[in-house]
Amino acid sequence: MYKLVEIKIISNVWDYRVELQSEKIHKTFSFECPEQECSLKEISPFDYNISVIKDGYLLHNSELIFEWREKVSLEVILEKEITLEKQELSEIVELTKIEKIEQIKKKRGSYAFFSFQDGREYSFLENNGVLDLYLGENKVGSFDIEKKKDILLQEVSWSSDYIYLQMGTNKSLYNIVNKSLYPISLKIPVVYVKEWWNNFEFLMVTDKGTFIYSIRDNSLNYFTFFQDFVYLEDSYIGIINSDEKKRLQNLWLEKETQNLVISYNPKTKERKILFRTFLDILKVVKEWENIILIDDDGGEYKLENF
């Protein structure tokens, strides 16, 4: 007759379930554990496959071998199961017939005209050899005349004060409040611009990667690790696609075959793969404390439980 034993489990979470599976007797025993520390008593001393299970966390599996011990302690650290939740896109409010006519009039009456989804409308009007820039009815600046086809104006994500301007071959950030122009010495096309967390740096995202631009000294620094990224607490959250071999090598991830969402702490050099996906992720944005990934079809996915 064998002596019954005790299994003590110490976890980093509450309210989890433990399953003991014995191949010897072909049975599985299940236990509910409301506290972090859980004692399973009067257990037959067989070898078990033990599973620790909690919704929203990755399954923990391990082997438990008694070897004549009467009590076994097992420390279990459960990791959150990170998922992508597809977001319902806000319906684009269609302009009324009258609003469409008014917008057409503004375009025809402007030297160049740009509108954003949030309703902002910028127009360039020629005036005595210069181009005056208007936001709605308010004049926000004046610029040298360029050919219409060589003028580009884009919004800067997470900023209501700055816009990105390209006048001919000259690229710049423009502050519409204090009317300051910040030249950008970047030769390659800019896909989009994001304001950085410190209010004086901006991310210039290009097809060749992302540059960090400072309005303090007009400096540009290439960011090596990610095509696009955001900063959250003490780490960068960025994307590396499976065909970006150099970036994968930089983080010793050459064997990965899917596109990756990665957390990287620049101080500790710690990196962690948060999610693997076959989605072609083009853009990462931060909405308050949420991380939103945008794919090549414009679909938006929220990174959950990280």
Banded model confidence at residue 68, pLDDT cuts 50, 70, 90: low
Contact by Cβ (8 Å): 153, 163: yes
**Residue 101 has what pLDDT?**
72
**Residue 91 has what pLDDT?**
64
Average pLDDT of the chain to the nearest whole number: 90
Banded model confidence at residue 94, pLDDT cuts 50, 70, 90: confident
**Residue 90 has what pLDDT?**
67
Mean pLDDT of 115-135: 92
pLDDT digits (tens, 9 = 90+) for 106-117: 888 899 999 988
Instruction: Please determine, for residue 175, whether its predicted confidence score (pLDDT) is greater than 90.
Output: yes
The larger pLDDT score, comparing residue 188 to residue 90, is at 188
The larger pLDDT score, comparing residue 68 to residue 235, is at 235
pLDDT digits (tens, 9 = 90+) for 15-36: 999 999 998 888 999 999 999 9
Q: Which CATH class is domain 5-81?
A: mainly beta
**Residue 287 has what pLDDT?**
82
**Residue 92 has what pLDDT?**
62
Q: Which residues, in sequence order, are bridge partners of residue 173?
A: 164, 182
CA 293 – CA 181 distance, rounded (Å): 31
Instruction: Please determine, for residue 99, whether its predicted confidence score (pLDDT) is greater than 90.
Output: no
Instruction: Please determine, for residue 1, whether its predicted confidence score (pLDDT) is greater than 60.
Output: no
What separation in angstroms does the CA of 72 have from each of 12, 119, 139, 150, 232? Answer: 18, 65, 75, 73, 40
Domain layout of the chain by residue ranges: 5-81, 92-222, 224-306
Contact by Cβ (8 Å): 297, 86: no
Contact by Cβ (8 Å): 303, 288: no
Per mean pLDDT, which range of 88-97, 98-107, 159-168, 265-274 is the poorest?
A: 88-97
In CATH, the number for domain 224-306 is 2.40.10
